Chains A and B, each alone.
Chain A
Amino acid sequence: MKHPSTFWPRGTVYGTLLNFDAELRALGEQVTQAPYKAAPQAPVLYVKTANTWSASGADIAVPARVSEVEVGASIAMVMGAPRFDALGGPAKPCVAGYVLVNDVSLPHTSFFRPPVKAKCLDGFLGVGPVCITPNEAGDPSGFVLEVRVNGALRQTVRFSEALRDAATLLADVSSFMRMRPGDLLLLGCGPDRPLAGAGDHITISAPGHAAFGTLANQLVAQEAA
């Protein structure tokens, strides 16, 4: 199958927080204390609104009021048309492919309220160049991401360590909201997400899955209004 030269989302982009045990462990006893009071039961989701999308190769502007942003390398499931069951019951959600993403955030330490001001800034979602097919992907638990800042390896994300693998995450999310064709669902960003600032060059690649290509974005200082 020939790939389009650049992929662009058509639907809503949903992100997933705390899909790695190490993210929860890093919070320690906070998890069971106020305001959270208990570990999450359902997937913890958020939306990356359309104003956040940046193509690979595009500059991402860092607001002057912060020195650094958090780099959230992940892989998104790209939803296809659901498959109906002739015997009845709900149609089964289907994945059309996978794409690299860079879910940029302003660093935030409280996960009590939705992260709109931290995650929905203009340009704050780098979107990889290629949507690879499920055949090319194989088992998504085999995905490994490498995140480089100015060429230096800063984070390795192994999706074999995710709390919910791709199929489980999709099933759990679909139990309360149907994903629509063209929607994206991120598999989580892993622990130890690197920080970077204006002037830094971020690349995200998946060794073993060269078909993804490389998602590259340059962080730049936001121009004064």
Chain B
Amino acid sequence: MKHARIAWAGAVHDAIEHQGQLLLADGRTVAQDDVVWLPPFAPVSRPRTILALGLNYADHARELAFKPPEEPLVFVKGEGTLLGHRGFTIRPPGVGHMHYECELVVVVGKAAKGVKRQDAYDFVGGYTVANDYAIRDYLENWYRPNLRVKNRDTCTPIGPWLVDAADIADPMQLALETTVNGNRTQSGNTRDMIFDIPFLIEYFSSFMTLQPGDLILTGTPDGVVDCQPGDMVITAIEGVGALCNTIVQGTPCASTT
């Protein structure tokens, strides 16, 4: 089942995909074009932990001139950076290199502590797609990638669907693709991750307790290019969804630096 969270007709609704439309809990259906899409997660009682992998595909590591890491390169995001499907992401004025990153997201399904890799998939609730934008102009070498690069408002679109884990036969065999204004610029496959999903769940749960609703963004393959205001960026993962985002120009007054 594919779950969504949307705003429509004056309220926020949980919904599922049904015959190409959105089915609300009260039985009404609504067209996908007629709603505002929110990140596809039920609220949680504490801020969700959002872990993200850097350089988790060997080809992308080479693209950025790094040798592949020997242990996961992990950074953490705040919930404030998340944005729904069909949202607008701000490109600050004067920026030279802002790129998308198409990533498979693991949504934790139950509390996980000290999990062994052979049991890891028992703790996955589902999957979604993230576009983990980076603005490389702001890179500094202290706790890199630093939050000014990776934790900006509007810069982590996520969705459209939360797909139940049971519906994804093998999350390590999924094609990823990004198009910019319809041109394919990035393509890869989750099989090329350096640290796979069972490894990551074992690794994180060895020192921290993951809770339902926590997210693991598993990194991106090569093929990242600069994007400009007006560009429509679609990050898509086979069987999980196609996440659409449009870049808009920030104004010097209202936008952040």
B-binding residues in A (CB < 8 A): 9-12, 14, 17-18, 35-38, 40-42, 44-47, 49-52, 63, 88-90, 111-117, 120-122, 174-180, 183, 225
Q: Are B74 and A50 in contact, with the CB atoms below 8 A?
A: no
Q: Are A50 and B211 in contact, with the CB atoms below 8 A?
A: yes
A-binding residues in B (CB < 8 A): 46-49, 51, 73-81, 113-114, 138, 140-148, 151-153, 207-211, 253-254, 256-257
A11-B47, A50-B49 known; A115 and B143 CB under 8 Å? yes
Q: Are A50 and B143 in contact, with the CB atoms below 8 A?
A: no
User: Hey, which chain B residues are within 8 Å of A174, CB to CB?
Assistant: 256
A40-B142, A47-B76 known; A12 and B47 CB under 8 Å? yes
Closest B residue to A89 by beta carbon equals B253
User: Hey, which chain A residues are within 8 Å of B208, CB to CB?
Assistant: 49, 51-52, 120-122
Partner of A12 from B79, B141, B145, B209 at Cβ < 8 Å:
B79
Of B81, B209, B253, B254, chain A has the most CB atoms within 10 Å of the CB of B209
User: Hey, which chain A residues are within 8 Å of B76, CB to CB?
Assistant: 46-47, 49, 114, 116, 120
User: Hey, which chain B residues are within 8 Å of A50, CB to CB?
Assistant: 46-49, 211
A-B residue pairs in contact (CB < 8 Å), sample of 10: A35-B141, A45-B143, A49-B208, A112-B142, A120-B208, A176-B147, A176-B148, A176-B152, A177-B147, A179-B80
Partner of A225 from B81, B114, B253, B256 at Cβ < 8 Å:
B114
Closest B residue to A34 by beta carbon equals B141
Main secondary structure, interface of A, reads loop
Main secondary structure, interface of B, reads loop
User: Hey, which chain B residues are within 8 Å of A116, CB to CB?
Assistant: 51, 74-76
Query: How many cross-chain pairs have Cβ atoms below 8 Å apart between A and B?
Result: 123
Q: Are B153 and A177 in contact, with the CB atoms below 8 A?
A: yes
Q: Are B253 and A51 in contact, with the CB atoms below 8 A?
A: no
Q: Are A177 and B152 in contact, with the CB atoms below 8 A?
A: yes
CB distance from B199 to the nearest CB of A (A): 14
Of B46, B140, B147, chain A has the most CB atoms within 10 Å of the CB of B147
Given contacts A14-B147, A45-B147, A51-B209, 9 further A-B pairs with CB under 8 A are: A44-B146, A46-B143, A47-B78, A51-B208, A51-B211, A111-B143, A114-B74, A178-B80, A183-B78
Complex: A47 Cα to B145 Cα, angstroms: 13
Complex: A180 Cα to B80 Cα, angstroms: 7
Q: Are A45 and B146 in contact, with the CB atoms below 8 A?
A: yes
User: Hey, which chain A residues are within 8 Å of B48, CB to CB?
Assistant: 50
Complex: A91 Cα to B145 Cα, angstroms: 27
Q: Are B78 and A177 in contact, with the CB atoms below 8 A?
A: yes
Complex: A89 Cα to B144 Cα, angstroms: 31
User: Hey, which chain A residues are within 8 Å of B74, CB to CB?
Assistant: 114, 116-117
Partner of B80 from A44, A90, A175, A177 at Cβ < 8 Å:
A177
Closest A residue to B113 by beta carbon equals A122
Q: Are A176 and B141 in contact, with the CB atoms below 8 A?
A: no
Q: Which 8 A-B pairs have the closest CB atoms?
A: A12-B78, A47-B76, A114-B75, A49-B49, A50-B46, A44-B142, A45-B147, A116-B74
User: Hey, which chain B residues are within 8 Å of A38, CB to CB?
Assistant: 140-141
User: Hey, which chain A residues are within 8 Å of B151, CB to CB?
Assistant: 45, 176-177
Closest A residue to B76 by beta carbon equals A47
User: Hey, which chain B residues are within 8 Å of A52, CB to CB?
Assistant: 208
Q: Are B148 and A42 in contact, with the CB atoms below 8 A?
A: yes
User: Hey, which chain B residues are within 8 Å of A36, CB to CB?
Assistant: 141-142
User: Hey, which chain B residues are within 8 Å of A49, CB to CB?
Assistant: 49, 76, 208
Q: Are B77 and A47 in contact, with the CB atoms below 8 A?
A: yes
CB distance from B9 to the nearest CB of A (A): 26
User: Hey, which chain A residues are within 8 Å of B46, CB to CB?
Assistant: 50
User: Hey, which chain A residues are within 8 Å of B147, CB to CB?
Assistant: 14, 45-46, 176-177
User: Hey, which chain B residues are within 8 Å of A12, CB to CB?
Assistant: 47, 78-80
User: Hey, which chain B residues are within 8 Å of A37, CB to CB?
Assistant: 141
CB distance from A70 to the nearest CB of B (A): 16
Closest A residue to B135 by beta carbon equals A176
Closest B residue to A180 by beta carbon equals B80
Closest B residue to A106 by beta carbon equals B207
Q: Are B114 and A42 in contact, with the CB atoms below 8 A?
A: no
User: Hey, which chain A residues are within 8 Å of B81, CB to CB?
Assistant: 177
Q: Are B140 and A113 in contact, with the CB atoms below 8 A?
A: no
Q: Are B140 and A40 in contact, with the CB atoms below 8 A?
A: yes
Complex: A120 Cα to B47 Cα, angstroms: 14
Closest B residue to A41 by beta carbon equals B140
CB distance from B99 to the nearest CB of A (A): 17
User: Hey, which chain A residues are within 8 Å of B153, CB to CB?
Assistant: 177-178
